[in-house]
Structure formats: structure tokens, C-alpha cells
Structure 1
Amino acid sequence: MQATRLNIPEVVLIEPRVFGDARGFFYESFNQRAFDEATGTQHTFVQDNHSRSSKGVLRGLHYQIEQAQGKLVRVVRGAVFDVAVDIRRSSPTFGQWVGEVLSEDNHRQLWVPPGFAHGFLVLSDSAEFLYKTTDYYAPQHERCIAWNDPQLAIAWPDIGMAPLLSAKDQQGQLLASAQLSRG
């Protein structure tokens, strides 16, 4: 696999080696040893999640103030624009974001470490999104930063329609007033 550290170096774009021919393809979607080497970390994944969303659905920017989750994310059907926002107060990249297109065609994965808010926008007619987490979902600790926070100025792709948001995501807070973990 090829691992590329993005502008926020803790966020890593992972591109597996894909072996394909006229019959289809094969690739190793996860290998603990290779993941640890690529990210320079040692995390144990405790939960796998799978979501399906329609075009224009924007989920996020989600994080947990306790039981912070690292996420290894990928798309197995369709395409999304995936975003990680550094919300670690002591970080030199606090308030900065990185984004990548993840799709069934490019097989890319994004490592979003604990201490980051995460979200994605569906670019295709629908998308199936899989992610592994380093801690369990804890709804009492979940928070949301507004996807369109002007301080973050995330360059979401124009898909010709307004994003479709859940009621929870419509209540997202600005980073300046969001409750963040102590870290």
C-alpha cells in the first residue's frame, strides 16, 4: 500500500495495491501491521460501521468529546468528498481541514485520528461508506460542528444542490463555540 501524509500530517491517505483483470479485482482492505507502519500509530479497532446515503447527503462534522474515535474510512459504492478537521486545541493545525475524494473506483482510505471532527458529502447518486473506529460510539459524548462554519471555510464540491442534512447536523455548532475535549 501507499501511504501519504496530508497537509495535517496525522491524517493519512492510504491507497492499497489493487490487483485487477477482466474478471474483477482483489485488494487487501486492512492489515494491522501495514496500517501501523503507514500511520506510525498503534490503534486497535473495536467497531465497524456501514452507511448508505443518497446524493447530496452531508454527514458531519462529527466527533466525541470523550471516547474520541479514530476512524479508518472508505467507500465501496459511489463517491464522497471526505473531510477531517483538527479540533485539538493544542495542535499547530487546530481549525484546519483536509479533504479527499474516496470512491469505489480509487479504493482510497483515509485515516482520521482521534481529536478530529469528520464528515463527508455524497457526490454520486448514492454511496456506501465503511469505517472502522478505535472506540465505541457514545451518543452522550457526540457533538457536531457546522459543516459550513466560515472559520473553517471547507471547500465542499459544488454538486448543483444544497446539502441534505439530518436534524442533528442542522444543529451543528461553530468551532469557536463548540464543546471540545480537554486535549
Structure 2
Amino acid sequence: MIKVLDRLLMFLYSVAIGAASIVVLVAACGGFDAKAIDDFTADLSGRNQIVQTTVIVVAALLLLVSLRFFIVSVKRNGSSAPSINQKTDHGDIRISVETMENIALKAASRTRGVKDLRARVMAGDAGLRISIRAFVDGETSIPALSEEMQKTVSEQIEETTGIPVAEVSVYIANVTQSPTTYKSRVE
């Protein structure tokens, strides 16, 4: 919701600044009559109460929007990268999700018959949920290979990080073709 509001404010702010820039450029190039500019400045200084009030309100709104954008640009985000946090007797431990994914990939790659691996780790209430996407060579039983991969990944993550693994999902994306070698026949 706040991001949508910020985008709307950014759009309106850009339109207002663009319009003001055009007016200043036209005025600087002599596009306005000197008497019209004098009349406008006189209206701003109090002769026409409606114009003066409108300009003050618009200027105050632009100032508030400018302050909002300044605060958003300077404010630091709470964490630089997604991580999984653990509390121990000695303090806090933060392990990045990328580290967890790399550990899962390393463990899954030990399974014989897998070729191209991708891993995704998500933290859940019961523990980590890990998704592995793999290509297999097709020469090994896919259920057996998947089960071995699930067991290896789960054990490796739990042993390395101490964080329980709730689920390891394996998605076999495709079967890779092993390059066949043909003997050339010379006659």
C-alpha cells in the first residue's frame, strides 16, 4: 500500500515539477508579458486572496512530498539480504538464504545422475522448505534418485546450520541426453 502511494506521489510530483519547469522556461525566454508577470506577483503578495492561498497550498504540498521522498531515499532498509535468524545462548546468528541455497545445491550435486540443479529455500513455521529443480540422466530410477537427494539435502542443511528442515521438494525438469559417440567407419 505504501509503495503504491509513493508511486502515485512520485507521479504527481513529477507532473508538478515538469509544469513548473515549463512555466519558468517560457518566462525566461520572454514568453510572458511583463505586465502579466507583475500582475501575477501582485496577486501573490496579497491583492488576490484566492491566488495567494492556492499557491501557498500547492507549495506546501510540494514541500511535504519532497520531504517524503528525501526520507525514503535516506532511510536504510532493516536487512540488506534475506536471512534466517537463530538465537543462541551466545547471541544471534544470521544465515543468508543464498548460503542455504548453496548448501542445498552442494548436497544435491552429490547424488549420482543429476545434471543441472537449482535450489530455493523458504523459511516456514515448522522449519525450512527447500525446493530442488534438477535434470537427470534417465539411467537411474527417478523416485530413488529423488528420495536420496531429499535425504542428503535435509541431513546436510540440518547438520551444517542446525536449522530443522520441514520439507524438501524435488522437481525433475527433464531428462538429459547423454552424448552418444559413433565410431567412424573407414573403408
Q: Quickly name the TM-score band, shorter chain normalised.
A: under 0.3
TM-score of the pair, normalised by structure 2: 0.20
Larger Rg: 2
Give the structure, 1 or 2, with the largest relative contact order (CA under 8 Å, sep 6 or more): 1
Q: Pick the structure with more helix per residue.
A: 2
